[in-house]
């Protein structure tokens, strides 16, 4: 009899079951889910702020263009158009036509809806509806530097802080 004949056969243990996974796999799953959620939130935030970023860039371009043409009526008309485009772009579809149709005091009321001091209806913002329709040769067709600066600052503030309330007030 040889030395190996007296040994019992080797029995391997059962292979490990795949469930529950090791702690490293749990950690990997949690990190993956959190990364996907963060990526989704980042894309959502970037889409929401894209209009605001582009509008602020266009406002700077309007200021640079004004330095070339120095036409206050053209500047104020372009500012009003910019604010309207931003409002329409950020509105829900069902309100876009309503915002598009606003004119005069209703337009200024819409611009003021988030601010208690109402700078558009009762302040420098009134120029948005008044100045574009003045005769170019009229006495009031040009702005003083401080009026222009205040109007540009107001438009920049509106573009920076603009948000639609839960219910659109028109």
Does the CA dihedral 110-114-115-116 come out positive or negative? Answer: positive
Is a pLDDT exceeding 80 seen at residue 158? yes
Q: Provide the domain count of the chain.
A: 1
Nearest alpha-carbon partner for 100 in 83, 114, 78: 83
Kindly state the percentage of the chain with pLDDT values over 70.
Answer: 89
Question: Could you tell me what percentage of the chain is helix, strand and coil, using 3-state DSSP and rounding each to the nearest 5?
Answer: 65, 0, 35
Give mean pLDDT, residues 132-155.
Answer: 79
Provide the whole-model pTM: 0.71
Q: Is there a domain that residue 67 lies in?
A: yes
Listing DSSP states for 132-169 in one string gives GGS-TTSTTSS--HHHHHHHHHHHHHHHHH----SS--
For residue 35, being part of any structural domain is answered with no
Q: Is residue 106 part of a domain?
A: yes
Instruction: Please say if the pLDDT value at position 16 is more than 90.
Output: no
Give the tens place of pLDDT for each residue, 32-59: 999 999 999 999 888 878 888 999 999 9
pLDDT above 60: residue 167: no
Asked whether the beta carbons of 58 and 82 are under 8 A apart, the reply is yes
Domain of residue 70, residue span: 51-161
Average pLDDT over residues 63-81: 92
The rounded distance, in Å, linking the Cα atoms of 27 and 8 is 42
Residue keyed to tokens 């573009």: 159
Q: Would 25 be classed as within a structural domain?
A: no
Report the first-to-last Cα separation within the chain, whole angstroms.
103
Task: Note the pLDDT of residue 164.
Answer: 57
Higher-confidence residue: 79 or 3? 79
Q: Is residue 125 in a domain?
A: yes
**Span 124-138, average pLDDT:** 80
Q: Is residue 76 part of a domain?
A: yes
Instruction: Say if residues 79 and 128 touch (Cβ distance below 8 Å).
Output: yes
Residue 138 pLDDT greater than 60, yes or no: no
**Residue 31 CA: distances (Å) to CA of 24, 26, 39, 43, 95:** 11, 9, 12, 18, 40
Model pLDDT, residue 168: 45
* Residue 128 falls inside a structural domain: yes
Whether 42 maps to a domain, the answer reads no
């Amino acid at each position: 009899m040889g030395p190996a004949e007296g040994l019992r056969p080797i029995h391997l243990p059962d292979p490990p079951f795949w469930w529950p996974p090791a702690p490293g796999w749990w950690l990997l799953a949690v990190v993956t889910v959190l990364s996907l959620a963060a990526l989704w939130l980042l894309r959502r935030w970037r889409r929401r702020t894209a209009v605001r970023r582009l509008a602020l860039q266009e406002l700077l371009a309007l200021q640079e263009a004004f330095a070339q043409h120095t036409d206050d009526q053209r500047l104020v008309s372009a500012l009003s158009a910019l604010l309207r485009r931003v409002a329409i772009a950020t509105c829900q579809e069902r309100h876009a036509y309503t915002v598009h149709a606003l004119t005069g005091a209703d337009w200024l009321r819409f611009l003021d809806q988030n601010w208690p001091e109402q700078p558009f209806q009762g302040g420098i913002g009134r120029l948005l509806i008044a100045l574009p329709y003045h005769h170019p040769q009229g006495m009031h067709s040009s702005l003083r530097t401080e009026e222009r600066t205040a109007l540009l600052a107001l438009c920049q503030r509106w573009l920076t802080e603009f948000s639609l309330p839960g219910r659109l007030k028109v």
